[in-house]
Amino acid sequence: MKMFTVALIAIVVVVVAVALRPRIARADLLKEGQIAPPFTTQMVTGETEAPVSLADFHGKKVILYFYPKDETSGCTKEACAFRDGYARYTNAGLVVLGCSVDSAEAHKDFIRKNGLPFPLLLDPGKKIATAYGAANGIPILGLDRRITYVIDENGKVLKVYPSVDPSTHAIEILNDLGVANAAPPAQAKPAPPTSN
């Protein structure tokens, strides 16, 4: 009888674990060469919000990185790494956009506390994350997974980073794109005055 009870408890535990396990409902990751899904949302830059769409960046390379949550240790480390290398990104003509399910107020706090110079996208309905295969990376908490896409000037996926080390990822992208030591763009010199 004791053996039967133990077996029954074990079966119940397995059934409950299977029934309560988080459901993973995520889209497939995009592949290199694929057209990046268009999106339109609000972006938070500093204390301001403004409408933005992927089409606004046509002609520029975009680094679109998805992260689980503002103010968590890994996400802060990743954002600060992008912040620390931001001059190199802008010198190379690259646009950096972060995206998570956090609110505008959470993004503003995150930007303020960490001095982030790049915009964070709002994605409350997870439409962007779902289109890019980042939704429900941590299903039990409903948070995005950590993925980065490099989108080329014509809107195609140039590079996919499905596995990210938050502390080294920002420099990894610069190295992969061959712009880790990008110098500032040359300033046009004014023409010398002409004498009549």
Residue 81: which residues within 8 A CB-CB, separation 6 or more?
A: 166, 167, 168, 169, 170, 171
75 is catalytic: yes
Query: For residue 115, which of 87, 91, 150 has the smallest C-alpha distance?
Result: 87
Backbone angles phi, psi at 122, to 5 degrees: -90, 135
- CA-to-CA separations, 145 to 41, 113, 187, in angstroms, rounded: 19, 23, 40
CB–CB of 185/91 below 8 Å? yes
| Among 62, 75, 92, 94, the one annotated catalytic | 75
CA distance 172 to 179: 10
Spatial neighbors of 149 by CB under 8 A, at least 6 apart, are 30, 36, 62, 63, 64, 65, 132, 157, 159, 160, 161
CA nearest to 85, candidates 182, 170, 184: 170
User: Which residue numbers are catalytic?
Assistant: 75
